[in-house]
Structure 1
Amino acid sequence: MTGRRMAREGEPAANDKGKIDVKKKSAKSAMTCGTKTKLVALATAVAYATAGRMDAMAQQTIAEVAKDPAPAQLPVRRFHVVEGALAAALEAYQEQSGVTVKLEIPAAQLAGFKTSGVSGLYANDSALRQLLAGSGLSFKFEGSDTVSIGLRHSDSVDVTAGISDSVSMSKFTESLLDTPQSVSIVPQFVLKDEQNRTLMDAVRNVPGISLAAGESGAQGDSFTIRGFTARNDIFLDGIRDFGSYYRDSFNFDQIEVLEGPAGVQFGRGSTGGVVNEESKVPAADEFVNVQAQVGTDLTRRVTADINEPLPDLAEGAAFRLNAMANEGGVAGRPYAENRRFGLAPSISFGLNSPTRLTISYFHFTESDTPDYGLPWFFNRLAPGVNRHSYFGFPDENFLRTSDDILTLKANHAFSEKVDVHTIARWANYPRDVQITEPQICSNATVSVPVGGYVASLPTSAVNTGVTCPYTFATPPAQMTVNRNQIQVKSVEGDLWDQTEVTAHFKVAHVRNDFAGGVEGGQEISNPIKTSYTENKINSVTPTNLVTPNPHDVFSGTGYISSITHVKSMSAGLYFVDTMKLGRFIELSGGVRWDYFDTLFNLYAPATGVAGAALTAAIAPISQTVHQPSYRAAAVFKPNSHGSVYFDWGTSFDPSAETLSLSVATSVLPPEENESYEVGAKYSFLNERLRVEGAWFRTEQDNARETDPNNSNNIVLAGNQRVKGVQASAVGQLGGGLNLVLGYAYLDSAVLASKEFPSSIGYQLANVPRQTFNFFLTHNLPFKLSAGFGGNYVASRTASSTTPYVPTSFGPAQTYALGSAPCATSETPAVTTCYQVLSTAMKQVPGYWVFNAMVKRPITDRLELQANVYNLLNRFYIDQPHPSHLIPGAGLSALIGANFRF
């Protein structure tokens, strides 16, 4: 058992090696330090003599010059280290934190240092920073349980706590090494080296995730995790972040992706996993970090991170402000623009007391010219287009959001072993959007094999009342593209509270780490949709496939087709307990009970537009779900650096999960998911390199299916499965060598389907069989640091229910009533059929993309950095959707300066 764990129980460290002995020094230590004792002594004397100046500069020296500040989410502990000799203070710190302290200066020299002590609740790194303030000494964590202290030259200070050792949320009581689940953390050093500006960019560093295009009714970040959509599984500081917006990284401390079973901790959804964005919070250090960047496609970006401690206010307080302004285009996509602004102030009180309070406000606006990319043509990207083809109306298309999120976090430590945490949130997500979706022909409703029959041919996207006139033999210059307008004005809202207790106790000499809580609140969604269809014809001017004209006058006739009001009331009660059965075995289990009640109402106002396609009104309907979730896991720890685990869990997806409901779905019980995972984790090189691998299987029963011949007939008749393996590594190995890499192999399939039997055995939508990501950085001569990385994503299908589509048909054939081979129980009167002559998989090809980075410090406070993306200028489809395709950005670059004050 490590010293850290024993310290948690108030027991002595595991052995005497962890103690600091200021009286003894081995002969070996004297020999190794002999040649530099005088230099160290001289430097120490200078530091001590200039203590007045160092007192003002020390925190800057420790925090600002650092390559990566220690994560603010590390677990807090109660410290009481009195003022006096630093040697004695470090010994007390070691006993209270469980962290092994290693000195890189002769022990005799330490006797000249004093400290003002530290008292209150602190993370290990913050407490040590307080002890060393004004001393001229700096520290470097070598993993979570060991820290080295020495006197370094200012341009080599590194106070990083190594790779993150824990999930920020208190519902996870164990370190990452002991958490029986695949957890990928995108740390701050990766976000900075890659200059990730969005959540979508950040999660490219996680194996098993693939990006998807926005839906017609909901824009913003969308992706799948281990084969299942996670559009509604995005969390901010542990609470669901429901808004439809594109999240910027300026206020991220780190990104946590928990793959596999998570229903007990997070409630509804979480079939393949969840993404949690951990916000930056006030810290004990004073610093100002500013980044200014310019790039290709007229990109301009400025971010600021300002932290100001207020030690004399409310038993220790601190204020932090993060701000961002960004404007620029998308490489290779003319007219697409991103204009975003963000402001995130926060203030914490009681940093030195048992009770902490943090109030934060997040404001984010975007005024983008959105882009839904390129059209499909049957099973492939339409012929005759390239990455520069643009089918929208740049003066009429827009995406405007103005999100406001107010969060209050409170924490009270009743003792070293019992903490209560509360987080309350009010969120408001207004959205006003109009996007052009390019279409040529309608989508196939079912996959029909060669030789089979269909009752109708694909229709023109411009006029759905007529047959699509194009085949693969049609010259692209003769094809017309429909400009489908997706226009929504909506306000989503969230009022939520989550209260948890964490406790560490023993029962029958068995140590338990317990986390339990209750949460609940209200979510609302009020979308107003506008249509431009009259008598099955789109009134918006179409354009040519090869020579689209973005300057066409927008002349469509729009009308409100539906107004929806949805309100969901939720409550959840849960607990997870981990039992330590000796040094080698840990068992954990958890249960959650959820209550989810949704009221849905939809109507369409009267309109004077002839032939308007109004959505059929739905009188108020409701759905109430009471659903348990379960989890069980076992961990075997052969030593303190590794673990082998087994994990099992359940989750569920109610029909109203996305705050959308219908008469047909309101009576359906939730989809049910079950996951198994077996994996191993290990830390190397003093906890600076962590590797992990896992085998997993997730199965979804009762998957909802819509009858292709009758959209009002929806049943629970599907069964889907994803199994596979994944491996990842993240490390900060010293000397500027940092790495993050991951690989996932996903074997997805439809196991059973009542409405779409031809889909059985085929891949699920947007699930690549293989994904691979890597990014490596290393120091070079002349103080340069360079990085190189890339992503591989294998081919992906567009639909789980229609994986392949008919591409050519025979002539119409007429049959006697009741004998037509294309007739169904829903359409028994059909007498005309068309034989399918050829089919093809509807999918996008796989791709490789490579990126590079170089940076160089100019002074202790100024660093220049350049990033180049898509080095080979590859043309690829980044975000597929069944009705449109969004290409990835072309070759682009960012050049900027990082300032530290």
Structure 2
Amino acid sequence: MTEKKILGGRMGWLAMGTLAAYAAVGANEQALAAVTKDGATGAAVPPAANLPVKRFNIAAGPLDAGFAEFEAQTGLKISTSLTAAAIAGFQTKGVTGLHPAEEALRLMLDGTGLQYAQKDSTTLVVGLRNSEEINVSTGVVAALGMTKFTEPLIDTPQSVSVVPQFVLHDEGVTTLRDALRNVPGISMAAGEAGAQGDNLTIRGFTARNDIFLDGIRDFGSYYRDSFNFEQVEVLQGPAGVQFGRGSTGGIINQESKTPGAQEFVNVQAQFGTDLTRRVTADINEPLPDLAAGAALRVNAMANEGGVAGRPFAQNRRYGLAPSLTLGLDSPTRFTISYFHFTESDTPDYGLPWLFNGVAPGSIRHNYYGFADQNYLKTSDDILTGKLDHNFSPDVSLHSIARWANYPRQAMITEPQICSNASASVPVGGYVSALPTSAINSSQVCAFTPASNPATILVNRNQIQIKSVEGDLWDQTELTARFKVAQIRNNLAAGVEGGQEVSNPIRTNYSFSTKTGSVSGSLNSVPAANLLHPDTAQPFAGTGYLTTVVHTKSKSVGLYFVDTVHLGRFIEASGGVRWDRFDTVFNSNQPVAPPAGGTVSAPIPQTQQVVSKPTYRAALVFKPNSHGSVYFDYGTSFNPSAESLSLSVATSLLPPEENQNYEVGAKYSLLHERLQLDVAFFRTEKTNARETDPTNSNNILLAGNQKVQGVQFSAVGRLPEGMDVVIGYAYLDSSVVSSRFFPASVGYQLANVPQQTFNFFLTHKLFARFNGGLGGNYVGSRTASSTVPYVPLTFGPAQTFASGSAPCGATATTCYQVLSTAMKQVPGYWVFNAMVRRPMTDRIEFQANLYNVLNRFYIDQPHPSHLIPGAGLNAQIGVNFKF
């Protein structure tokens, strides 16, 4: 790879800074030019010299600390023109045992992409190899950007997937969702009624509230763009010790781009099908004479375009992310950054269910909304200040503070045909009522899977919400390396806290109605024909406010994680965290609605306070410096107000509790160019919340759920321009026990595919072309954990004496279920391709082709609607480097 494709190490932007240092090597250039390449090992070796043989004991960790230890143990001097901040961005695996000094230094630099040479009898020079093509990081990402994790990735006892910058670039990724398609065990979901934006599951459990930005929870309901991503990090398995509430299946962290020491301007322009236009700019300007070395970086983005196969969906996004770092060459570094992101979309909630599957007929491209009336608007502002101070090579303080404001407005049409079944009833069982019409719930639904699609009417359910979410947060952390009784410890300990607010206001378009003696609700918005919806029909309907909610949560968390190095082969780590999560909720009753309208009753101030510890313990066995085998145990919890939503019923419930067990192995091959990971895991939720289907106010911790399986991944940067990203996950999910939904026991959890597989491979082709081919497989997914299958056909009404009906204690009329079917979406394969070619040293051409077979598939399922994936589309771009 060339200078255009730089893969960050611990922090990718610091690795970029080494490119500037390359230009400044100056007096050391002749020494580095003398470096030759050892054909057997591929490592740089210096000319023969009588360097001492010593017994080394240099710990894994920051490279600058390793250099200090090397100099102390050998009496030699390491010379480098790299900035202190740039060196601090690299990690070393350390070195132990008896070695010649140059061999020890080679081992220390293994995987960093740095080279060394001997200048004289007392000095070694470290820098970049003199080459027209410089690859700062010859291997894969070696460490996480978050300081919560003190060990290199290969020694971190947890499944961690990093989607680095080169993958984002090769695949032409523009959103967080597309970046996460490179991680096995993740599946996408459609937004809930009040939660638009990125919704997904990790290892079988929702991660809607487990998305972080630079280590702090990114609470907003918006669709995240990748223009300011340095890399995306996914930690799977409960991570309650590091991140607090939630994280049942894991967390996602977006690592932002930040200033570095190299001057550059990168501009990308993309044009494609569906009127797609996208321009991004990444500008970094060093300010070496300001504040002990400073740098300014600005990222900007403008994106407009449609969605292939969905003719009325439109995405319009704009973003700006400036950041300024002071003290790059000092022990104290301060970065202030601002992130503004605006989206003004025409949203599309896709297609309707009809009982167990997508409604019949040729409806792939049908749109059931109102293109001139539907909207999704957000305008997010995030201001972050980050301070890092090194007291010594072994002790550092890290503090990050954030203010975030996430306003949004949405009006989205959800297509529906029949009501959802309240429970799964087996063949031969009885129900008290037949499915009702989604248009008028006082009437029986007139349609079945055997109905003529031309006769089926689709309800246009209007989801309208106006809300402001906010976040004020501070996180301060101390990392330290020290010895106790000659045993090395790597400690991360911190305190964090702040407040989060959510103030949604919801509007409804349904009015009470009655058919005979049956009461229900009637939608005032006109229905649409399933096969031929009138997309030009003017919007009509009467809306009124139904709820006005105010929620504020105040949190504080204290945590520490310590890793103890018990000799050369064994590392043990443990941690504990205590959280206090205090939520106050109230709901006001709106003004009197129109006749027939129904509003939520007022809820006086309701409070829930959760104080709870979480734990973590792990053991790592290292057969050598290139591999590890580990066992990991962790806990997490989900309070009722986790997503800042509470009620009188849920305020009395203690949190759901989760436990995770994981055994895994990691190994680096080909001089750190290829990393392999495999893990076997089991996650248990021992007290899942369940809502009584006959009484929504009766909510209990009454269910148990589990997900167990195996996960494999391989990420590599190999010779001949070959990049490799492969992942596979097998998830065996099931409902273990349930009080209100016993028929669901043994069935898989909602939106959890049993198998997922992803790959993307690139390689050099002829005439300086590089080509890439990739694909994703996602297995079939059910719509609901509590109602995995639904009745399809029913017998005639049967009348029973009061108290003797088999369909309920108060029922007198029952219908026998004659057939059932799983309510699920089928699995799918999607394939993508890429080709790129440098035209000059500063201009690169790239073309990406997505869904090359134009497959029709459901990408984001929801119990009440289905969002198809994009059809065949192409994007052609030009990348400019200055």
**TM-score (norm: length of structure 1):** 0.87
Hey, what does 2:103 align to over in structure 1? Answer: none
Aligned ranges 1:424-463 → 2 under 5 Å: 424-463=401-440
Matches of 2:711 and 2:351 in 1, distance apart? Answer: 32
Q: Which amino acid aligns with 2:625?
A: S
The answer to whether 1:696 aligns with 2:681 is yes
Matches of 1:660 and 1:119 in 2, distance apart? Answer: 48
Hey, what does 1:66 align to over in structure 2? Answer: 4
2:871 aligned residue (862, 886, 890): 890
Hey, what does 2:111 align to over in structure 1? Answer: 143
Q: Retained in 2: the 8 A contact 1:71–1:253? A: no
Distance change (3 Å), C-alpha of 1:279 and 1:76: closer
Q: Which amino acid aligns with 2:28?
A: L
C-alpha offsets along residues 157-197 of structure 1, whole Å, 9 cap, x if unaligned? 33335211001100000000000000000000000000110
Secondary structure at 1:202's aligned position in 2?
A: helix
The answer to whether 1:86 aligns with 2:28 is yes
The answer to whether 1:285 aligns with 2:227 is no
Q: Retained in 1: the 8 A contact 2:13–2:260? A: no
C-alpha offsets along residues 290-310 of structure 1, whole Å, 9 cap, x if unaligned? 000100000000000000000
Matches of 1:434 and 1:175 in 2, distance apart? Answer: 46
The answer to whether 1:673 aligns with 2:640 is no
Distance change (3 Å), C-alpha of 1:442 and 1:246: same
2:576 aligned residue (575, 581, 591): 591
Q: Retained in 2: the 8 A contact 1:316–1:352? A: yes
Distance change (3 Å), C-alpha of 1:859 and 1:118: closer
Q: Which amino acid aligns with 1:846?
A: G
Q: Which amino acid aligns with 1:614?
A: V
TM-superposed deviation, 1:277 = 0.3
TM-superposed deviation, 1:551 = 1.0
TM-superposed deviation, 1:474 = 1.6
TM-superposed deviation, 1:151 = 6.0
Hey, what does 2:638 align to over in structure 1? Answer: 653
C-alpha offsets along residues 716-756 of structure 1, whole Å, 9 cap, x if unaligned? 00000000001000000121000100000000000000000
Hey, what does 2:669 align to over in structure 1? Answer: 684
C-alpha offsets along residues 620-669 of structure 1, whole Å, 9 cap, x if unaligned? 10100001000000000000000000000000000000000011100000
Distance change (3 Å), C-alpha of 1:509 and 1:814: same
Q: Which amino acid aligns with 1:760?
A: V
Matches of 1:801 and 1:530 in 2, distance apart? Answer: 28
Secondary structure at 1:177's aligned position in 2?
A: helix
The answer to whether 1:396 aligns with 2:381 is no
TM-superposed deviation, 1:86 = 2.0
1:298 aligned residue (266, 275, 289): 275
C-alpha offsets along residues 64-93 of structure 1, whole Å, 9 cap, x if unaligned? 83322544716989x9999995289989xx
Q: Which amino acid aligns with 1:700?
A: K
Distance change (3 Å), C-alpha of 1:759 and 1:69: closer
Matches of 1:341 and 1:657 in 2, distance apart? Answer: 29
Q: Which amino acid aligns with 1:415?
A: S
**TM-score (norm: length of structure 2):** 0.89
Matches of 2:806 and 2:25 in 1, distance apart? Answer: 90
Hey, what does 1:163 align to over in structure 2? Answer: 140
The answer to whether 1:762 aligns with 2:747 is yes
Distance change (3 Å), C-alpha of 1:890 and 1:117: closer
2:487 aligned residue (502, 507, 510): 510
Aligned ranges 1:144-543 → 2 under 5 Å: 144=112, 147=115, 154=132, 156-535=133-512, 536-543=521-528
Aligned ranges 1:524-673 → 2 under 5 Å: 524-535=501-512, 536-673=521-658
Secondary structure at 2:247's aligned position in 1?
A: coil
Q: Which amino acid aligns with 1:708?
A: P
Hey, what does 1:831 align to over in structure 2? Answer: 812
Structure 1, gaps ≥5 residues long: 1-62, 92-99, 109-113, 129-139
Secondary structure at 2:696's aligned position in 1?
A: coil
Secondary structure at 1:264's aligned position in 2?
A: helix
Structure 2, gaps ≥5 residues long: 34-40, 50-77, 93-107, 117-126, 513-520
Q: Which amino acid aligns with 2:111?
A: G
TM-superposed deviation, 1:119 = 6.0
TM-superposed deviation, 1:471 = 1.9
Q: Retained in 2: the 8 A contact 1:65–1:860? A: no
TM-superposed deviation, 1:605 = 1.2
Matches of 1:145 and 1:368 in 2, distance apart? Answer: 43
Distance change (3 Å), C-alpha of 1:152 and 1:858: farther
Hey, what does 1:133 align to over in structure 2? Answer: none
Count of aligned residue pairs for this structure pair: 811
Secondary structure at 2:750's aligned position in 1?
A: coil
Hey, what does 1:848 align to over in structure 2? Answer: 829
Q: Retained in 1: the 8 A contact 2:838–2:845? A: yes
Matches of 1:663 and 1:859 in 2, distance apart? Answer: 65
TM-superposed deviation, 1:115 = 8.7
Secondary structure at 2:347's aligned position in 1?
A: coil
Matches of 2:555 and 2:128 in 1, distance apart? Answer: 52
Matches of 1:144 and 1:359 in 2, distance apart? Answer: 28
Q: Retained in 1: the 8 A contact 2:91–2:143? A: no
Distance change (3 Å), C-alpha of 1:145 and 1:591: farther
Matches of 1:555 and 1:790 in 2, distance apart? Answer: 43
Distance change (3 Å), C-alpha of 1:83 and 1:886: closer
Q: Retained in 1: the 8 A contact 2:570–2:619? A: yes
C-alpha offsets along residues 798-843 of structure 1, whole Å, 9 cap, x if unaligned? 00000000011111111111101111xxxx3211111111100000
Aligned-pair identity in percent equals 67
Q: Retained in 2: the 8 A contact 1:102–1:146? A: no
Secondary structure at 1:248's aligned position in 2?
A: coil
Aligned ranges 1:814-829 → 2 under 5 Å: 814-823=799-808, 828-829=809-810
Matches of 1:406 and 1:494 in 2, distance apart? Answer: 10
Secondary structure at 1:205's aligned position in 2?
A: coil
Secondary structure at 2:166's aligned position in 1?
A: helix
Secondary structure at 2:433's aligned position in 1?
A: coil
Distance change (3 Å), C-alpha of 1:116 and 1:732: closer
Matches of 2:637 and 2:431 in 1, distance apart? Answer: 35
Distance change (3 Å), C-alpha of 1:867 and 1:104: farther
Q: Retained in 1: the 8 A contact 2:113–2:137? A: no
Distance change (3 Å), C-alpha of 1:107 and 1:244: farther
Hey, what does 2:119 align to over in structure 1? Answer: none
